[in-house]
Chains A and B, each alone.
Chain A
Amino acid sequence: MTVDDGDIRSLLLSRADRADAHGLRMAAVEAARATPQLRPLVRLSSLTRRTWPVRAAAAIAALVVVTGAIALVIGLRLSDRDGTGVAVVGASPTVTPRSVPTPSPTDRPVTAPPYVSGSCPVTPITDLAGGLVPEVVTGGIRWRWGPLPWEAGVGQKVAFAETSPDQVLDASAIIAERLPIETSETPVSIRYPRGGGPGFVFGVGLPEPGCWLLTAIGPTIRSSVVVQVAPAPANPPSAESQNVPTERASLVPLARCPTSPLVSGAAVRTWLDGDNRWQDPDPSDWVAGVKRKLVVSGVVSSLAPYELVVAARVGIVGPPESQRSAFVADRPVFTAPTPGSGSKAMELILPTAGCWAITYVDPTATSTIVVEVAATPSVSFLGPPAVADRTLLPSCGAERFTTPEGPWNEAARVCFWDAYRAQRPAEFVSTWLTTEGDPITSIYRVLGAGRVEIFIDSTQDRFTPATDRGWQRLDCSTLATVQSPAPAPDFGPDHTCVATPLH
Chain B
Amino acid sequence: METGLIERARNGDVEAFDALIGHRVEAMLRTAVAIIGDPEEAREATQESLLTIWKELPTLRIDDRFDAWAGRILVNHCRLALKRRGRRAGREVRLDGSSQSDSAATAGSDELFDRREPLERAFEQLDPDDRVLLVLHHLEGLQVAQIAARLEIPIGTAKSRLFSARRALERALEAES
Contact = CB atoms under 8 A, between A and B. Distances in A.
B89 interface: no
A458 B148 CA distance: 16
B67 to A, nearest CB: 12
Contacts of A15: 33-34, 37, 105, 120, 123
A45 to B, nearest CB: 11
Contacts of B164: 464-465, 467-468
Contacts of B158: 492
Contacts of B177: 1
A485 B65 contact: yes
A14 B116 contact: yes
A383 to B, nearest CB: 15
A39 B58 contact: yes
Contacts of A112: 59
A85 to B, nearest CB: 21
A8 B39 CA distance: 19
B108 A38 contact: no
Contact of B135 (A12, A29, A454): A12
Interface string B136-157: 0011000011001100111111
Contact of B14 (A11, A29, A456): A29
B39 A432 contact: no
A21 B26 contact: yes
A456 B22 CA distance: 41
A25 interface: yes
For B37, B154, B157, the residue with the greatest tally of chain A CB atoms inside 10 Å of its CB is B154
A318 interface: no
Given A28-B21, A35-B55, A111-B59, A16 B30 contact: yes
Given A32-B17, A110-B59, A403-B152, A25 B43 contact: no
Contacts, number: 193
Contacts of A275: none
Contacts of B107: 14, 17-18
B129 interface: yes
Contact of B156 (A27, A38, A442): A442
Given A24-B46, A110-B56, A13 B119 contact: no
Interface in B36-94: 37, 39, 42-43, 46-47, 50-51, 54-59, 61-62, 64-65
A219 interface: no
A9 interface: yes
A483 B152 CA distance: 13
A51 interface: no
Given A19-B39, A28-B51, A492-B156, A38 B58 contact: yes
Given A19-B42, A21-B29, A38-B58, A8 B169 contact: yes
Contacts of B54: 28, 31-32, 35, 37
A125 to B, nearest CB: 36
A448 interface: no
Given A2-B170, A8-B138, A481-B145, 4 more contacts: A8-B134, A9-B139, A472-B160, A484-B149
**Which 9 A-B residue pairings sit nearest by Cβ, starting from the closest?**
A492-B155, A404-B152, A28-B50, A16-B30, A12-B139, A32-B54, A1-B174, A19-B29, A21-B26
Interface of A: 1-3, 5, 7-21, 24-25, 27-29, 31-33, 35-40, 43, 109-112, 182, 403-404, 430, 432, 434, 440, 442, 454, 456, 458, 463-465, 467-468, 472, 474, 480-485, 491-495, 497, 499
15 contacts: A3-B119, A8-B169, A10-B116, A20-B29, A24-B43, A24-B50, A29-B18, A40-B58, A440-B156, A442-B156, A480-B144, A480-B155, A485-B65, A492-B155, A493-B155
